[in-house]
A and B are shown apart, each in its own frame.
Chain A
Amino acid sequence: MCQYRYKPIGKPCHKMTFLGQGYRLLRVSYLNFSSTKKHNSNLSYFSNNASLSSLAQPISTTVKLLLLFFLFSIPLLSYAANKPTLIVNKSVQQSSISMGALRTIFGMRLRSWNDGTTIRVIVLPDNHPLHSSFSKRVLGMFPHQLRWAWDRLVYSGTGQAPIQVSTEEQMLHILQTTAGAIGYLETVPKDDNIHPLEIR
């Protein structure tokens, strides 16, 4: 009696792993792809594996689909058209900031502005084109890096996550009304309650 659960079809008893079986099916489907001649030359292999060979047809379709999927998943990036502008609430006295300080602020590791006001970081969702564009083109980081940094703080209790809003309108509203707020906008309206921050 066979004591293993995963045995290849058509063989009496032989230990087979998930991976081994996967490889075998892939191999079979590859062979099916190849020329008839090549197929024929492997006929003896299939003849004692009749059921496996019939399995190969749908599998090869699956493999084709998988290949197509990977081919078309060459990362598609939706950028915001303009480079986002770094914006702060009017309560923030400074007009420029260093790249290092900016990364520390968006990494949620700096609490207060030079005058002691609480820093409030406002962000859009990870998959928002403007957030993605801001992370990459302004901070020189990737959204997934920022998320991991925030997760490490939040889930270890050693820090807090930024305030997340879902639209640019909400972002603008919070920047206008919250002391110490820092965020980003694609188009900056004329407004005395906010001002851009230059990166040194």
Chain B
Amino acid sequence: MKLFQQPLRHLIVIIVVLAGFVSNVKAESNADNVQIHGFLTQSAISTNANNFFGSSRHSVAFDFTEIGINTSYRPKNKWLLSGQLLSRRAGQTDGGKIRIDYALIDYTIRDQISSRWGIRAGRILNPLGFYNETRDVAFARPSIFLPQSIYFDRVRDLAISSDSLYIYGEQRFQHNELLWQIGIGYPRISNEEIERSLLGQLLPGQFDSSASLLGRLLFEIDGGRFLLGISGAHALLDYSTGSGSPLQSGRVTFAPVIVSAQYNGEFLALTAEYAQRSFTYQNFGPLLADNNFVGESAYLQSVYRFRPDWDMLLRYDVLYTDQSDRQGKAFAASHPSTAAFSRYARDATIGVGWQYSSALLLRAELHHIIGTAWLTGADNPLASHVEKNWDLFALLASFRF
């Protein structure tokens, strides 16, 4: 089994060497203006139908690996430079290629107790919902897989970061705080799965992004006991046709809006997010008429920390590709090769996590899923083999420093 490819091996070696180096340096000095952190996560996935991140069907797939290393340097109080390298293997959709996830420079213009604001430029993680920026870090997410209705792993690269310029601020009150950021940038499009999800298939020609808007407003009440947020984007994705493509050059406008709410108790945390995702297709020619549809996503999640190092997760997550055709019947009628259940997904999840130490985390979770709206096409090339009802069991081990 070719578990780790060449570039991935190099990254593992770098991480192991750095982990040793960092632990030595930390012991000797208090230098905190340079920090290095990293993580290595391996999951095992098994499904009773449909492949998810590898050949998981009636088998166990070890094709989901996340390795990252980041560094930050604060030369002066108001300046911060940071960057992260990431390698991700995820079945047929991601081969473990090392890429720069973010690399940015941040300048705080005003840094006072009552407020702070500044600017940030470079490749920056998109501030969408509660979890987008930390989606690849097992320690910072509540489950092995984030609710796929909002945090689609199949179009991760598009969702994760943009080459952009942001202005951000924090307004502080006695017990509450308002955090905002707004930016303009170019979302990353490099992955075939993105084209597959936008056009339904791989065609000659390619997608590029145009200047897009992103932003988030987050209100923290009582030191984060309650969080309320709204975030969104207005992304322009341009398709340039290639020879042999039945489509003309066109544009997809993708405009998601996410409303987020969270309660953080000592033992119980409740999280809910709701998203509307608007897609507008223009100028693709006669075979793909101009059209607009709005997708809908929502989940409700409860995390119960029954011991400081143990947690239990319950979640219900729904996705409708088109809110005017939730059961996909109209779509299936006009696209005979497509099953209605590929237009929605309902996922009930139960999971348990154990943080053995600050450096090691173990998780197990079970999903019962109806519908395949967020299933990856690359792992399931034959539509006739895709089933409506499926269960997914996954185990995860994550190490960090």
Contact = CB atoms under 8 A, between A and B. Distances in A.
A13 interface: no
A16 to B, nearest CB: 9
A107 B125 CA distance: 20
Contacts of B68: 155
Contact of A112 (B77, B82, B103, B139): B77
Interface in B126-160: 133-134, 136-137, 139-140
B306 A154 contact: no
A73 B222 contact: no
A75 B111 contact: no
A167 to B, nearest CB: 13
A109 B108 CA distance: 11
Contact of B309 (A127, A148, A157): A127
Given A126-B358, A139-B223, A157-B72, A17 B113 contact: no
A5 interface: yes
A174 B29 CA distance: 10
A18 B140 CA distance: 28
B30 A178 contact: yes
A22 B368 CA distance: 12
B113 A98 contact: yes
Interface residues of B, number: 59
A75 B307 contact: yes
B172 interface: yes
B102 A156 contact: yes
B391 A18 contact: yes
A86 to B, nearest CB: 15
A101 B113 contact: yes
A155 B77 contact: no
A158 B120 contact: yes
B30 A163 contact: yes
Chain B CB within 10 A, most for which of A111, A136, A140: A111
A165 B108 CA distance: 28
Contacts of B307: 73, 75-76
Given A19-B348, A112-B77, A157 B223 contact: no
A168 B289 CA distance: 68
Contact of A158 (B80, B103, B305): B80
Given A100-B172, A151-B137, A160 B116 contact: no
Interface string B29-63: 01010010100000000001000000000100000
Interface string B372-401: 000000000000000001010100000000
Given A99-B174, A104-B172, A19 B111 contact: no
B95 interface: no
A59 interface: no
Nearest to A116: B77
Nearest to B390: A17
Interface string A82-106: 0000000000000000111101100
Interface string A15-36: 1011100000000000000000
Contact of A155 (B78, B140, B222, B393): B140
B32 A163 contact: yes
Interface in B235-280: 264-267
B30 A144 contact: no
Given A118-B77, A158-B80, A111 B358 contact: no
Contact of A127 (B37, B137, B175, B308): B308
B205 interface: no
A8 interface: no
Contacts of B134: 151-152, 155-156
B136 to A, nearest CB: 8
Contact of A141 (B137, B177, B223): B223
B281 interface: no
A196 interface: no
Contact of A151 (B83, B84, B140, B172): B140
Contacts of B170: 104, 109
A120 interface: yes
30 contacts: A6-B48, A17-B389, A18-B368, A19-B366, A19-B391, A70-B306, A74-B306, A75-B266, A99-B175, A101-B113, A110-B116, A118-B77, A142-B264, A143-B308, A145-B264, A148-B140, A151-B134, A151-B137, A151-B139, A152-B134, A154-B37, A154-B70, A155-B140, A157-B80, A157-B82, A157-B104, A157-B125, A158-B106, A161-B37, A163-B30
Given A120-B32, A178-B30, 13 more contacts: A6-B391, A104-B172, A142-B266, A145-B223, A148-B140, A151-B134, A154-B37, A154-B72, A156-B102, A157-B80, A157-B82, A157-B104, A160-B80
